[in-house]
Structure 1
Amino acid sequence: MKLNQRCLVVGLRRALFGSCVLLGVSGTAWGQAAAAPDDATTLDTIKVTAQSREQELKDVPIAINVLNGEMIDQVAAADIGDLDMFVPGLEVSDGSPTQPRYAIRGISTGDFGIGTDPAVGVYIDGVYSARTGGAMLAFNDIERIEVLKGPQGTLFGRNSAAGAVSIITNKPSNVAEGNARIRVGEDGRRYLSGLFNVPFGERHALRFSALSNHSDGWMTDAATGDRLNPEDTMALRAAWRSDLGESTTLNLSWDYENIDQLARPAVGLVALDPYPAPAPYPANPLTYRNPLKAPVFNDVVHNEESRTFNGLTLQIDHAFPWGSLQSTTAVRDFDTVNREDEDGTNRINLYFDTANIESNRSYYQEFKFSGVSGKFDWVAGASWFKEEADQTSETNLFTDSVGTAMGNLPDFGGLNVIALLDQVLEGAGLPLRFQGHPWRESMVNEGKAEAYAAFGDVIWHVNDRLNLTFGLRLTHDRKEFSWFNGPREAATLDATVAMLEQQGFFELLQQMFPDFPITPDLFQRDFVFAFGELDGVRNSRKKSWTDVSPRFVVDYAINDNTMVFGSLAKGYKAGGFNSVQPQSQFDNEDVWNAEFGVKTVFPEQKLSLNASSYYYVYKDRQAISLDLNTAGSGVPRYVVDTSDMQAWGVDVDLQWRPVTGLDLTFNTSFIDATYKDGLSTNGRDISGDPTGEPYLSASFGAGYTWNLDDGGDVRFSLLHAYRGKSRCNAESETQGTCQASPAFRTGEAQNRTDMRVQWSSADGMWGVGVYGNNVFDKRYVTGVNNISASVLGTPFASISASRQVGVEFSARF
């Protein structure tokens, strides 16, 4: 069975071993146990729990990348967003830690709203993270990370149609130990972490860890000199283990995290004339500045990105004579605020920011039975999930920028009404002004979701060479969702309008401009959240979905060193609602994925070579898109579209340990992803067009250890990652993923190289390292945002980080 499933591993884990090994060049492979000293050139063993049982990675018929805690430390990674370049097929947009976007094999859902679920499931110790707001936590005492590619509906459940990221923490042990780490780097980087593990007798143990991660930021406001993208994270974790008799173990853990920093900055692309001139309109990409060289400004009122997270997990394992039972009970609670710049300027007449304010609580219960019976390995169980979420989406302007928008929108004939009225007031000698008042529009959502599932997975060892696997999960989702967009908030403006109305100002205006009625009602309208008869009315919908997701696997060992395999699996993601579009509703997603592969090992050469190919068809894929001209109004709004897509791909990975101390790894991933059936936001048929995913991504790693006998060890590691050029389509420029301007491009191929030199004492108690991330300082424009371009003429960009160099000191006791 091991050889058979190793084969499967190859194909499915194609992305796994390659990138996990790639990152693993700085020590052992990501997730590998070190080889014994007398066998230092053998390939190491990797243990995973991807199939709800502990197995060797080579025996698991799933494409997995495994990253262990040692490797996380060696690349100075703070969270999963620091590692995705080294895992071909995985992409994590981590510009906002409270609103990350995960993608696997070109499949993602980047919605910030609580009405849409992610396509990549994130699990911490087996507990599902329902919302992106709580899905990217700081690495705190992590044992390993398993990145599973392809649909994981049978084993992991709903909302893992693209794949799953499973994070496993270290558990309390019977060994008294502790460690501390200090990392100091450029831009005020200060990272502190520590943990201790204390056993209490032979049956109980406590483990506690803490970290603080701070950076001043690597971008500076050109007007104020303030740093714009700092990092400030503090995290705590406490875990308790008790052996309740010979057959029962209890693990109770608490996770806490607090983020308190500024939101991501926006780099303006348009050169501005002196104030109060508006931005050139419409914005012309031919005149855009290079954001890598442009000055950066930020004037967001109450600029903030914050999160408070609490999680409590109780896991009880009990062994029976015929198998085992695992019960997992968890509650997760977080509050986030993300108020960020949307214009890239410091002009009040162009001011625009958005805020996402979210509170979320979820509950999870799973019972899982497993056992081995004759020729069968089996897992079966049931789970329950409940979520309660509240969200407020805000758009914040000043009446100055509202006036600029009026001048650019067709409803007002190019006239900045607010600026004109202030001229009238000034000419009349009145002290009141229409400009200078804050203006807020908001959409308030409440969401409730509940899901029930029953699942089973059986491996049949037909003979010594052939294994057949069959799995099935039945899921029922039920959701309730509501919208309320009240009147816009502008208290000081309302007071000004009321005073002028009492003085007969608007009657005078009617006489002056009889063909253009200007009444107090003009200042009461919503511009962004305007839905006619639904304005000011709480409305709601409810919907349920039921799904059956199977998986079938065949793996066959041709000989002791070569295996072939094939699999067919279905993935499912629940339907949902667009949080900023009242009464919207869309269907669930379904994906069918077929995978075939071969895995071969050359023991004498200490080399493994894996290759696999896959093909999937995706139905009703949900994607959030920016519609720049909603219903002809000229006001942009995020909409959720569904489309069908398909893709085929090939993955190759190689690991080689030619001599003692030297590790070489290489992996590459090729994918051709296209729309099978779809329309762009402006109604253009994009069927047959590429989805934007690059053809090629690859990574390479090399590491060498010099043994100094009693002087310890010196380890040098080099990691290089490549991600190819994005494949553009009709939507690309609107969505900012492919922007072609004379000064810069987005979606171009990217390269990143990390290096590290680490000394460790002979007893492993002390260490000093020097690391460099992006050592060649390769910088890229990672995206263009047009949310304010169509109303204010202020597109802006995001850019990648500069080179970061630091020193690290570590101690163990």
Structure 2
Amino acid sequence: MIALFGTVLTEIMKAGGGFFGGGACAGRRIRVMACVLPVLLSVGQVHGAAPEKLHSRVPFDQPAQPLDKALLDFTLQTDIQIISKTSDLGGMKSRSLRGRFKPLEALVQILRGSGLKFAVAGQNTIVVGRNVHLLSSQNPEAEPSEKSGKELSEEDKGGDPKALLEEVIVTALKRVQNLQDVPVHMQVLDKDQLTQSNLNRMEDLVVLLPTVTFTQRRGYDQSNYRIRGVGTQILGAGVEPGVATFIDGVVMARGGAALNDLPDVERVEILNGPQGTLFGKNASAGSLNIITKSPNRQNAEASFSTRATSDEEYGVKFSFSGPLGATLAYRFSGSFSDWDGNVKNIITGNDVNGVTAKSLRGKLQWSARENVDVLLSADYSRQNTECCARITREDRLGLYIDPAIAGDARPGGGTADILGVPIGPMADRIAHNRDPFVISTNYGASLTANMDLGTHTLTSISAYRVWEALNSWDNDLLPINFHRQQRSERSADWATQEFRLASPTDGYFDYLLGLYFYKTATDALEYADRKYVNIDLDQIIFVQSKIENENLAFFGHVNYHPTEKLKLFGGFRVLYDQITGTARRGGRDLAPDGRVLMDHSTPEVHNSKSEIALVMKTGLQYDFTDSLNGYVTYGRGYKGRGFGVEFGFDPQRFVESEPIDAERSTSLEAGLKATYFDRRLKLVVTAYHTRIEGLQLGLRDLRGIANLLGSVPETSVRGAEIGLVGRVTHGLTLSGGIAYNNARFDDFTNGLCYLGQTEAEKCFSGAQDLSGHVLENAPRWKGVLSLRYAREIGGLGAYGYLQASYRRQSAVFLSDDADPGSIQDAYGIMDLSLGLYAEDERYHFSLFVKNLFDQKYVAGVSANSADGGGVIIHTVPRDFKRYIGMAVNVNF
């Protein structure tokens, strides 16, 4: 044992009638590890009530050193005793630690990469070991108390160790921090929550997040997230997403690059609102920060999971990790999944909307020196999908369709006559003469290095990535070959380099400074070979473009602690941004006799713009008590310029009016974070107001049959959010949140009209005044709630649980043109799961039902104008229909 001081051991063994509920530990040195474990913890996660001492910041200055010496130094510095077996430490070395930390944050740093766990055990004791678990409730004499010496109640005994409230450690602000101490409203989903909720893909995350929505378009390359109602709904390749997605610190430059099966995830951090100071220029609406699992530097481990559902989904995931010597460790993981889909194409006879995906990810971690740690990561993924089936919901214009134009012998008629399938707001069948598909490939590598330079830490992240996507769809939406071919091809590659220098945090003043370089190039081709449904001409048209972007930034974040309770902070990002575009249009219209009616060819044009911008955030945070703190922040955001390179490409507009201006925002946010009832309830309340100038928007020109790039002069987003996690009893927990969000166009007098809109409906010369209208897919109310009850089964170290999750949101418009046909009514979705897992996490088995009450809703609505018959179409989500599944996870 280390730090097993006599007084501490005596107190532990004498706690028979107090903390340990009996005399089971008295005189039993061999059982000390089994007598002091009231709470199950993974490294960086603390469950249950923690002593107040754990919330006071302490200055640390420890070099990289043998782990047993580091833990002893930790004890001397904090007056918190560490108990561990010498055999568990195995000659390992700790990471260096310099700065002012709360003890649990410090311990996370010291143990990082060791594979060891720790548990809070009493008022002044923490236990460290390989396997730290709760005791069986079948031994009441050894049952520890969570109530500071009081006897556990009957309702608390036999509870779920995974259900206990935890101190969540995050890196959202580029430093290791307790979630309760981060002055921004963010949500964290860890690997246990993802497993328990049976989430399989990135877009599934919205079911647990009250502030996030997902809009699905004709393919993953056009689908997008929105946070607080704000995103970037642009079909073209010339604009970046407004919600930035990062995987292990590396940005996904294109929105579709992140839409895949969930990788080997440790946790997902969701930051609401503008985050440009630390996360770059394309985080104007917020960011999703995904952290995958690190190599285990101490022990070999392996895991395997499989999943199957009643609607023909099958999948497997695996991972292996362990040491390759004293200074080297690895992690290798992969996945494969296949789902047929939930939309029937009656013409081809296939189920569509499904996906076949595979991925591989590898990590190699090298402790080059005592003060240098290097992590090499590489990954590859590929998806073959039939996404996203566009289903006819309304024949808006009632156009006469003439099959003879396409050489088809069937009689002419309206859309419903030709389709032969029901159309309507919840239709789920199509009659297309070919299935849609998207094939996307995503791969890259990164090198992350951390080096201790005296009292400072230097971090370098170098990355290079490639994303390619081929998207093909039947744009006439009919069983007749009007559209012989329509496709979109995109290929993007990008390189990033980030340097960060972090000061120690042990004084009144600490800081983080950084340099960031980003360069990306996106080649795109939009191509169509088609006939119109009521015009006898052949048309070939294409737009070919290349968009390049370079961004260089200097950023920093400063904290000042004039008192122990008050913190003043500020962040900035000075950036130079340059966007360059090259594009041309080609093709022609041919009459039936072969005459050229129109030549669409244009010469190649070139345009480039650059600017210098400042992004900033400032605020204060105050700890009213150890369990209550509040913060206020004010910030200014920026999102770079963009080009329109869709079928509506106009060379003159490209040169004279583009790239469109950058988005600029100002944001004010205030929040309270609190814990109550012996740390059984954690509560977060946030209010915010954001104003955006020049919100970038994709528009559909229904006269010219083109997708255009535009912007909204003024937009405002204001609202409030409440998030909570609570432990009702030891076995019953709840988590969730509710968000009120009012996202509206304040000044948008030249919005395009919706399909079929008349002057009586306030459409004049193809434009309408949309000032005061709500943004697309921005529900006024959205709430999520999850209840989980678990109980130990038979004293075998196994726990059974039942979990119910419910989410509900108010009605939304699913288009930005105020089309009444795009309204999705309010709906609620209930999911259930029943499972069994081992206390030591060796296995986890679950049965689940998604969309228990079979509540129908759609994921996106848009217009398909004259070339496709003048109809309104929609897409449907994964859980459009109820399905049942089974999942098994095994750890070795």
TM-score range, shorter chain: 0.7 to 0.9
1:683 partnered with 2:767:
yes
What is the one-letter code of the residue matched to 2:338? H
Contact 1:184 1:191 in 2 (8 A): yes
Q: Once the 2 structures are TM-superposed, how far is the Cα of residue 610 of structure 1 from its aligned partner? A: 2.1
CA distance in 2, matches of 1:34, 1:576: 52
In structure 2, stretches of 5+ residues that fail to align are 1-52, 58-130, 136-143, 147-160, 404-408, 753-765
Secondary structure of 2:631's match? strand
Q: Percent identity?
A: 24
Contact 1:4 1:556 in 2 (8 A): no
CA distance in 1, matches of 2:208, 2:343: 25
Give the equivalent residue in structure 2 for 1:694.
Answer: 779
Contact 1:391 1:444 in 2 (8 A): yes
Cα deviations by residue, 1:410-456 (Å, 9 ceiling, x for unpaired): xxxxxxx45xxxxxxxxxxxxxxxxxx7x531100011111000011
Matches within 5 A, 1:554-573: 554-573=620-639
CA distance in 1, matches of 2:800, 2:164: 20
Give the equivalent residue in structure 2 for 1:771.
Answer: 848
Q: Once the 2 structures are TM-superposed, how far is the Cα of residue 774 of structure 1 from its aligned partner? A: 1.3
Question: After the TM superposition, which of the residue ranges 602-611 and 237-246 deviates more from structure 2?
Answer: 602-611
Q: Once the 2 structures are TM-superposed, how far is the Cα of residue 771 of structure 1 from its aligned partner? A: 1.3
Matches within 5 A, 1:378-777: 378-397=511-530, 401-402=531-532, 404-406=533-535, 417=536, 439-488=539-588, 497=593, 520-522=595-597, 525=598, 530=600, 535-580=601-646, 581=649, 582=651, 583=654, 584-604=658-678, 606-630=680-704, 635-678=705-748, 679-681=750-752, 682-692=766-776, 693-708=778-793, 709-710=795-796, 712-726=798-812, 731-733=817-819, 738-739=820-821, 746-777=823-854
CA distance in 1, matches of 2:56, 2:214: 33
Contact 2:516 2:553 in 1 (8 A): yes
What is the one-letter code of the residue matched to 1:43? L
Give the equivalent residue in structure 1 for 2:18.
Answer: none
Q: Once the 2 structures are TM-superposed, how far is the Cα of residue 487 of structure 1 from its aligned partner? A: 2.1
Contact 2:393 2:427 in 1 (8 A): no
Q: Once the 2 structures are TM-superposed, how far is the Cα of residue 154 of structure 1 from its aligned partner? A: 0.8
Cα deviations by residue, 1:727-763 (Å, 9 ceiling, x for unpaired): 6998221xxxx41xxxxx7321121121111112354
1:122 partnered with 2:245:
yes
Kindly indicate whether structure 1 or structure 2 has the higher relative contact order, using CA contacts under 8 Å at least 6 residues apart.
1
Q: Once the 2 structures are TM-superposed, how far is the Cα of residue 685 of structure 1 from its aligned partner? A: 2.1
CA distance in 2, matches of 1:355, 1:573: 28
CA distance in 1, matches of 2:308, 2:338: 10
Q: Once the 2 structures are TM-superposed, how far is the Cα of residue 652 of structure 1 from its aligned partner? A: 1.2
Give the equivalent residue in structure 2 for 1:788.
Answer: 865
Contact 1:382 1:453 in 2 (8 A): yes
Contact 1:343 1:788 in 2 (8 A): no
Q: Once the 2 structures are TM-superposed, how far is the Cα of residue 278 of structure 1 from its aligned partner? A: 4.5
Q: 1:339 to 1:381 in 2, by over 3 A?
A: same
CA distance in 2, matches of 1:764, 1:159: 38
CA distance in 1, matches of 2:891, 2:713: 53
Secondary structure of 1:227's match? strand
Normalised to the residue count of structure 2, the TM-score between the two structures is 0.75
Question: After the TM superposition, which of the residue ranges 467-476 and 605-614 deviates more from structure 2?
Answer: 605-614
What is the one-letter code of the residue matched to 1:700? L
Secondary structure of 1:537's match? coil
Contact 2:260 2:357 in 1 (8 A): no
CA distance in 2, matches of 1:689, 1:652: 25
Q: Once the 2 structures are TM-superposed, how far is the Cα of residue 241 of structure 1 from its aligned partner? A: 0.4
Give the equivalent residue in structure 2 for 1:297.
Answer: 431
CA distance in 1, matches of 2:188, 2:464: 26
Give the equivalent residue in structure 2 for 1:108.
Answer: 231
What is the one-letter code of the residue matched to 1:248? V
CA distance in 1, matches of 2:558, 2:876: 47
What is the one-letter code of the residue matched to 1:59? D
Contact 1:3 1:561 in 2 (8 A): no
CA distance in 1, matches of 2:222, 2:706: 20
CA distance in 1, matches of 2:586, 2:486: 16
Contact 2:416 2:422 in 1 (8 A): no
What is the one-letter code of the residue matched to 1:537? P
Secondary structure of 1:133's match? helix
Q: Once the 2 structures are TM-superposed, how far is the Cα of residue 579 of structure 1 from its aligned partner? A: 1.3
CA distance in 2, matches of 1:50, 1:252: 21
Q: 1:36 to 1:379 in 2, by over 3 A?
A: farther
Q: Once the 2 structures are TM-superposed, how far is the Cα of residue 119 of structure 1 from its aligned partner? A: 1.1
Q: Once the 2 structures are TM-superposed, how far is the Cα of residue 294 of structure 1 from its aligned partner? A: 5.9
Matches within 5 A, 1:133-532: 133-174=256-297, 175-269=299-393, 276-278=410-412, 280=414, 289-293=423-427, 295-300=429-434, 303-349=436-482, 351=483, 354-372=486-504, 374-397=507-530, 401-402=531-532, 404-406=533-535, 417=536, 439-488=539-588, 497=593, 520-522=595-597, 525=598, 530=600
Give the equivalent residue in structure 2 for 1:18.
Answer: none
What is the one-letter code of the residue matched to 1:726? V
What is the one-letter code of the residue matched to 1:483? A
Q: 1:212 to 1:70 in 2, by over 3 A?
A: same
Give the equivalent residue in structure 1 for 2:172.
Answer: 50
CA distance in 1, matches of 2:272, 2:232: 16
Contact 1:258 1:308 in 2 (8 A): yes
Q: 1:262 to 1:654 in 2, by over 3 A?
A: closer
Q: 1:4 to 1:249 in 2, by over 3 A?
A: closer
Cα deviations by residue, 1:186-233 (Å, 9 ceiling, x for unpaired): 222110111100211221011100100101112212234211222100
Q: Once the 2 structures are TM-superposed, how far is the Cα of residue 767 of structure 1 from its aligned partner? A: 2.9
Q: 1:92 to 1:626 in 2, by over 3 A?
A: same
CA distance in 1, matches of 2:306, 2:773: 49
CA distance in 2, matches of 1:731, 1:446: 29
Give the equivalent residue in structure 1 for 2:103.
Answer: none
Secondary structure of 1:671's match? strand
In structure 1, stretches of 5+ residues that fail to align are 6-32, 407-416, 419-436, 499-519, 740-744
Contact 2:815 2:862 in 1 (8 A): no
Q: Once the 2 structures are TM-superposed, how far is the Cα of residue 376 of structure 1 from its aligned partner? A: 1.8
CA distance in 1, matches of 2:308, 2:846: 11
